[in-house]
Protein backbone atom coordinates (compact mmCIF):
# COMPACT_ATOMS: atom_id res chain seq x y z
CA UNK A 1 0.00 0.00 0.00
CA UNK A 2 2.85 2.40 0.79
CA UNK A 3 4.48 1.60 -2.55
CA UNK A 4 1.28 2.46 -4.48
CA UNK A 5 0.91 5.70 -2.55
CA UNK A 6 4.55 6.65 -3.33
CA UNK A 7 4.13 5.90 -7.04
CA UNK A 8 0.98 8.02 -7.29
CA UNK A 9 2.62 10.89 -5.38
CA UNK A 10 5.69 10.90 -7.58
CA UNK A 11 3.48 10.72 -10.68
CA UNK A 12 1.57 13.80 -9.52
CA UNK A 13 4.85 15.63 -8.89
CA UNK A 14 6.03 14.79 -12.40
CA UNK A 15 2.78 16.14 -13.93
CA UNK A 16 1.24 12.82 -15.05
CA UNK A 17 -2.32 13.19 -13.77
CA UNK A 18 -3.95 10.75 -16.20
CA UNK A 19 -6.10 8.11 -14.46
CA UNK A 20 -4.39 5.36 -16.36
CA UNK A 21 -1.02 6.43 -15.10
CA UNK A 22 -2.29 6.88 -11.60
CA UNK A 23 -4.00 3.49 -11.79
CA UNK A 24 -0.86 1.90 -13.13
CA UNK A 25 1.17 3.48 -10.42
CA UNK A 26 -1.37 2.76 -7.73
CA UNK A 27 -1.78 -0.91 -8.67
CA UNK A 28 1.92 -1.55 -8.77
CA UNK A 29 2.08 -1.96 -12.59
CA UNK A 30 5.54 -1.47 -14.06
CA UNK A 31 6.65 1.30 -16.39
CA UNK A 32 5.86 -0.65 -19.59
CA UNK A 33 2.16 -0.90 -18.66
CA UNK A 34 2.09 2.79 -17.79
CA UNK A 35 3.57 3.64 -21.21
CA UNK A 36 0.97 1.47 -22.91
CA UNK A 37 -1.81 3.20 -20.97
CA UNK A 38 -0.43 6.61 -22.07
CA UNK A 39 -0.34 5.49 -25.70
CA UNK A 40 -3.95 4.25 -25.48
CA UNK A 41 -5.03 7.56 -23.98
CA UNK A 42 -3.31 9.43 -26.80
CA UNK A 43 -5.17 7.34 -29.40
CA UNK A 44 -8.50 8.27 -27.79
CA UNK A 45 -7.62 11.99 -27.97
CA UNK A 46 -7.01 12.49 -24.28
CA UNK A 47 -4.43 15.19 -23.49
CA UNK A 48 -1.72 13.87 -21.26
CA UNK A 49 0.99 16.08 -19.84
CA UNK A 50 4.56 15.02 -20.59
CA UNK A 51 6.60 13.72 -17.68
CA UNK A 52 8.61 16.42 -15.95
CA UNK A 53 11.36 15.74 -13.48
CA UNK A 54 11.65 18.11 -10.55
CA UNK A 55 14.95 19.44 -9.32
CA UNK A 56 14.49 20.49 -5.72
CA UNK A 57 17.81 22.30 -5.66
CA UNK A 58 16.64 24.40 -8.60
CA UNK A 59 13.34 25.13 -6.86
CA UNK A 60 15.14 26.32 -3.71
CA UNK A 61 17.46 28.42 -5.85
CA UNK A 62 14.47 30.05 -7.54
CA UNK A 63 13.10 30.97 -4.09
CA UNK A 64 16.45 32.42 -3.00
CA UNK A 65 17.31 34.28 -6.26
CA UNK A 66 17.47 38.03 -5.99
CA UNK A 67 15.51 40.17 -8.44
CA UNK A 68 17.43 40.99 -11.63
CA UNK A 69 18.59 44.60 -12.10
CA UNK A 70 17.65 46.57 -15.18
CA UNK A 71 20.22 48.07 -17.54
CA UNK A 72 19.60 51.61 -16.23
CA UNK A 73 20.17 50.42 -12.65
CA UNK A 74 23.39 48.68 -13.70
CA UNK A 75 24.61 51.82 -15.48
CA UNK A 76 23.71 53.96 -12.44
CA UNK A 77 25.60 51.54 -10.16
CA UNK A 78 28.65 51.52 -12.44
CA UNK A 79 28.65 55.30 -13.08
CA UNK A 80 31.05 56.25 -10.18
CA UNK A 81 33.53 53.58 -11.21
CA UNK A 82 33.34 54.66 -14.88
CA UNK A 83 33.85 58.31 -13.90
CA UNK A 84 36.86 57.39 -11.78
CA UNK A 85 38.35 55.37 -14.63
CA UNK A 86 37.77 58.24 -17.08
CA UNK A 87 39.40 60.71 -14.66
CA UNK A 88 42.41 58.43 -14.28
CA UNK A 89 42.63 58.05 -18.05
CA UNK A 90 42.57 61.85 -18.46
CA UNK A 91 45.28 62.28 -15.81
CA UNK A 92 47.40 59.63 -17.50
CA UNK A 93 46.91 61.37 -20.86
CA UNK A 94 48.04 64.69 -19.33
CA UNK A 95 51.11 63.01 -17.83
CA UNK A 96 51.91 61.39 -21.17
CA UNK A 97 51.66 64.80 -22.89
CA UNK A 98 53.96 66.40 -20.31
CA UNK A 99 56.44 63.55 -20.62
CA UNK A 100 56.40 63.91 -24.43
CA UNK A 101 57.09 67.67 -24.14
CA UNK A 102 59.90 67.05 -21.65
CA UNK A 103 61.42 64.37 -23.87
CA UNK A 104 61.24 66.67 -26.89
CA UNK A 105 62.99 69.50 -25.00
CA UNK A 106 65.62 67.08 -23.72
CA UNK A 107 66.26 65.73 -27.22
CA UNK A 108 66.54 69.28 -28.60
CA UNK A 109 69.05 70.27 -25.89
CA UNK A 110 71.01 67.06 -26.41
CA UNK A 111 71.13 67.67 -30.17
CA UNK A 112 72.45 71.21 -29.67
CA UNK A 113 75.09 69.95 -27.24
CA UNK A 114 76.09 67.24 -29.70
CA UNK A 115 76.45 69.83 -32.45
CA UNK A 116 78.66 71.97 -30.18
CA UNK A 117 80.83 68.96 -29.36
CA UNK A 118 81.16 68.08 -33.05
CA UNK A 119 82.17 71.67 -33.84
CA UNK A 120 84.80 71.54 -31.08
CA UNK A 121 86.09 68.22 -32.45
CA UNK A 122 86.37 69.72 -35.93
CA UNK A 123 88.29 72.73 -34.58
CA UNK A 124 90.67 70.47 -32.67
CA UNK A 125 91.13 68.33 -35.77
CA UNK A 126 92.11 71.38 -37.80
CA UNK A 127 94.51 72.49 -35.06
CA UNK A 128 96.08 69.02 -34.94
CA UNK A 129 96.46 69.02 -38.72
CA UNK A 130 98.28 72.37 -38.51
CA UNK A 131 100.59 71.35 -35.63
CA UNK A 132 103.01 69.09 -37.66
CA UNK A 133 103.69 71.89 -40.16
CA UNK A 134 104.38 74.34 -37.33
CA UNK A 135 106.63 71.81 -35.59
CA UNK A 136 108.57 71.23 -38.84
CA UNK A 137 109.04 74.99 -39.34
CA UNK A 138 110.19 75.43 -35.75
CA UNK A 139 112.58 72.47 -36.11
CA UNK A 140 114.09 74.08 -39.21
CA UNK A 141 114.51 77.37 -37.34
CA UNK A 142 116.19 75.53 -34.44
CA UNK A 143 118.62 73.87 -36.87
CA UNK A 144 119.43 77.25 -38.39
CA UNK A 145 120.02 78.71 -34.94
CA UNK A 146 122.23 75.77 -34.01
CA UNK A 147 124.31 76.42 -37.11
CA UNK A 148 124.52 80.08 -36.10
CA UNK A 149 125.58 79.09 -32.58
CA UNK A 150 128.30 76.83 -34.00
CA UNK A 151 129.52 79.73 -36.15
CA UNK A 152 129.46 82.01 -33.13
CA UNK A 153 131.45 79.46 -31.15
CA UNK A 154 134.09 79.45 -33.83
CA UNK A 155 134.07 83.26 -33.72
CA UNK A 156 134.44 83.06 -29.95
CA UNK A 157 137.50 80.82 -30.28
CA UNK A 158 138.98 83.24 -32.76
CA UNK A 159 138.27 86.14 -30.41
CA UNK A 160 139.87 84.21 -27.56
CA UNK A 161 142.99 83.72 -29.67
CA UNK A 162 142.98 87.39 -30.51
CA UNK A 163 142.59 88.30 -26.85
CA UNK A 164 145.70 86.27 -26.11
CA UNK A 165 147.56 88.59 -28.46
CA UNK A 166 145.96 91.73 -26.98
CA UNK A 167 148.87 92.73 -24.71
CA UNK A 168 151.29 92.87 -27.64
CA UNK A 169 148.77 94.58 -29.85
CA UNK A 170 148.05 97.14 -27.14
CA UNK A 171 151.67 98.01 -27.01
CA UNK A 172 151.64 98.63 -30.76
CA UNK A 173 148.31 100.23 -31.41
CA UNK A 174 145.73 101.52 -28.91
CA UNK A 175 143.17 102.15 -31.64
CA UNK A 176 143.22 98.51 -32.67
CA UNK A 177 142.53 97.55 -29.06
CA UNK A 178 139.49 99.82 -28.91
CA UNK A 179 138.11 98.38 -32.15
CA UNK A 180 138.78 94.87 -30.87
CA UNK A 181 136.95 95.60 -27.61
CA UNK A 182 134.03 97.05 -29.57
CA UNK A 183 134.01 93.97 -31.82
CA UNK A 184 134.10 91.73 -28.75
CA UNK A 185 131.18 93.56 -27.19
CA UNK A 186 129.23 93.39 -30.45
CA UNK A 187 129.96 89.68 -30.72
CA UNK A 188 128.93 89.24 -27.09
CA UNK A 189 125.60 90.96 -27.72
CA UNK A 190 125.04 88.83 -30.82
CA UNK A 191 125.89 85.72 -28.87
CA UNK A 192 123.48 86.68 -26.10
CA UNK A 193 120.76 87.42 -28.67
CA UNK A 194 121.48 84.10 -30.37
CA UNK A 195 121.27 82.26 -27.05
CA UNK A 196 117.99 84.02 -26.28
CA UNK A 197 116.56 83.13 -29.67
CA UNK A 198 117.73 79.53 -29.30
CA UNK A 199 116.16 79.34 -25.85
CA UNK A 200 112.94 80.86 -27.17
CA UNK A 201 112.79 78.41 -30.06
CA UNK A 202 113.61 75.47 -27.78
CA UNK A 203 110.84 76.57 -25.48
CA UNK A 204 108.45 76.92 -28.40
CA UNK A 205 109.39 73.49 -29.71
CA UNK A 206 108.83 71.93 -26.29
CA UNK A 207 105.57 73.82 -26.03
CA UNK A 208 104.56 72.57 -29.51
CA UNK A 209 105.37 68.98 -28.50
CA UNK A 210 103.38 69.37 -25.30
CA UNK A 211 100.59 70.97 -27.34
CA UNK A 212 100.56 67.98 -29.71
CA UNK A 213 100.39 65.55 -26.79
CA UNK A 214 97.76 67.57 -24.97
CA UNK A 215 95.72 67.99 -28.16
CA UNK A 216 95.85 64.21 -28.75
CA UNK A 217 94.67 63.59 -25.21
CA UNK A 218 92.00 66.23 -25.63
CA UNK A 219 90.88 64.59 -28.88
CA UNK A 220 90.38 61.26 -27.11
CA UNK A 221 88.57 62.96 -24.24
CA UNK A 222 86.36 64.93 -26.65
CA UNK A 223 85.49 61.73 -28.58
CA UNK A 224 84.56 60.01 -25.32
CA UNK A 225 82.52 63.04 -24.31
CA UNK A 226 80.65 63.00 -27.64
CA UNK A 227 79.78 59.35 -27.15
CA UNK A 228 78.83 59.44 -23.50
CA UNK A 229 77.48 62.83 -22.31
CA UNK A 230 78.36 66.50 -22.30
CA UNK A 231 79.51 66.68 -18.68
CA UNK A 232 83.03 65.46 -19.59
CA UNK A 233 83.48 68.53 -21.83
CA UNK A 234 83.70 70.75 -18.76
CA UNK A 235 86.38 68.44 -17.32
CA UNK A 236 88.30 68.68 -20.60
CA UNK A 237 88.17 72.48 -20.50
CA UNK A 238 89.39 72.43 -16.89
CA UNK A 239 92.25 70.12 -17.85
CA UNK A 240 93.13 72.42 -20.77
CA UNK A 241 93.27 75.45 -18.48
CA UNK A 242 95.45 73.50 -16.03
CA UNK A 243 97.84 72.49 -18.83
CA UNK A 244 98.00 76.10 -20.05
CA UNK A 245 98.86 77.28 -16.55
CA UNK A 246 101.55 74.61 -16.21
CA UNK A 247 103.01 75.53 -19.61
CA UNK A 248 103.02 79.22 -18.67
CA UNK A 249 104.68 78.49 -15.32
CA UNK A 250 107.31 76.27 -17.03
CA UNK A 251 107.94 78.99 -19.62
CA UNK A 252 108.35 81.59 -16.88
CA UNK A 253 110.79 79.38 -14.99
CA UNK A 254 112.78 78.71 -18.19
CA UNK A 255 112.82 82.43 -19.02
CA UNK A 256 114.13 83.34 -15.56
CA UNK A 257 116.74 80.61 -15.80
CA UNK A 258 117.94 81.86 -19.19
CA UNK A 259 118.01 85.44 -17.90
CA UNK A 260 120.18 84.29 -14.98
CA UNK A 261 122.46 82.40 -17.39
CA UNK A 262 122.69 85.45 -19.67
CA UNK A 263 123.50 87.69 -16.73
CA UNK A 264 126.14 85.22 -15.62
CA UNK A 265 127.72 85.14 -19.11
CA UNK A 266 127.67 88.94 -19.32
CA UNK A 267 129.22 89.24 -15.85
CA UNK A 268 131.94 86.76 -16.68
CA UNK A 269 132.74 88.55 -19.94
CA UNK A 270 132.81 91.94 -18.22
CA UNK A 271 135.00 90.55 -15.43
CA UNK A 272 137.43 89.06 -17.94
CA UNK A 273 137.58 92.40 -19.77
CA UNK A 274 138.18 94.29 -16.51
CA UNK A 275 140.87 91.84 -15.40
CA UNK A 276 142.56 92.12 -18.79
CA UNK A 277 142.50 95.89 -18.64
CA UNK A 278 143.92 95.85 -15.10
CA UNK A 279 146.63 93.43 -16.12
CA UNK A 280 147.54 95.55 -19.14
CA UNK A 281 147.56 98.69 -17.05
CA UNK A 282 149.84 97.07 -14.50
CA UNK A 283 152.24 95.88 -17.17
CA UNK A 284 152.29 99.30 -18.76
CA UNK A 285 152.97 100.93 -15.42
CA UNK A 286 155.78 98.54 -14.70
DSSP the chain: -HHHHHHHHHHHHHT---HHHHHHHHTT--HHHHHHHHHHHHHTT---PPP----HHHHHHHHHPPPPPPHHHHHHHHHHHHHHHHHHHHHHHHHHHHHHHHHHHHHHHHHHHHHHHHHHHHHHHHHHHHHHHHHHHHHHHHHHHHHHHHHHHHHHHHHHHHHHTHHHHHHH-HHHHHHHHHHHHHHHHHHHHHHHHHHHHHHHHHHHHHHHHHHHHHHHHHHHHHHS-THHHHHHHHHHHHHHHHHHHHHHHHHHHHHHHHHHHHHHHHHHHHHHHHHHHHHHH-
Average pLDDT (269-276) is: 80
77 compared with 185, residue with greater pLDDT: 185
**pLDDT tens-digit readout, 178-223:** 776 787 788 788 878 888 887 887 787 788 778 767 766 776 776 6
pLDDT at 75: 66
3 compared with 105, residue with greater pLDDT: 105
* pLDDT exceeds cutoff 70 at 35: no
Looking at every residue in the chain, the average pLDDT score rounds to 71
* pLDDT exceeds cutoff 60 at 175: yes
Amino acid sequence: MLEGFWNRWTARLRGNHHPAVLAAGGNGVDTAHASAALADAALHGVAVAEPRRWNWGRVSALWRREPEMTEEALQAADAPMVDGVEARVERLADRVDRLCDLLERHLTAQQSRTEEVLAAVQRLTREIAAVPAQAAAQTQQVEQLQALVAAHHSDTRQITALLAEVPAVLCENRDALDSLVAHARTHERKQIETIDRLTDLSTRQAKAAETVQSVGAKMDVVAAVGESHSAALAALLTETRTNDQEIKSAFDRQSRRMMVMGGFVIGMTAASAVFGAIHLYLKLMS
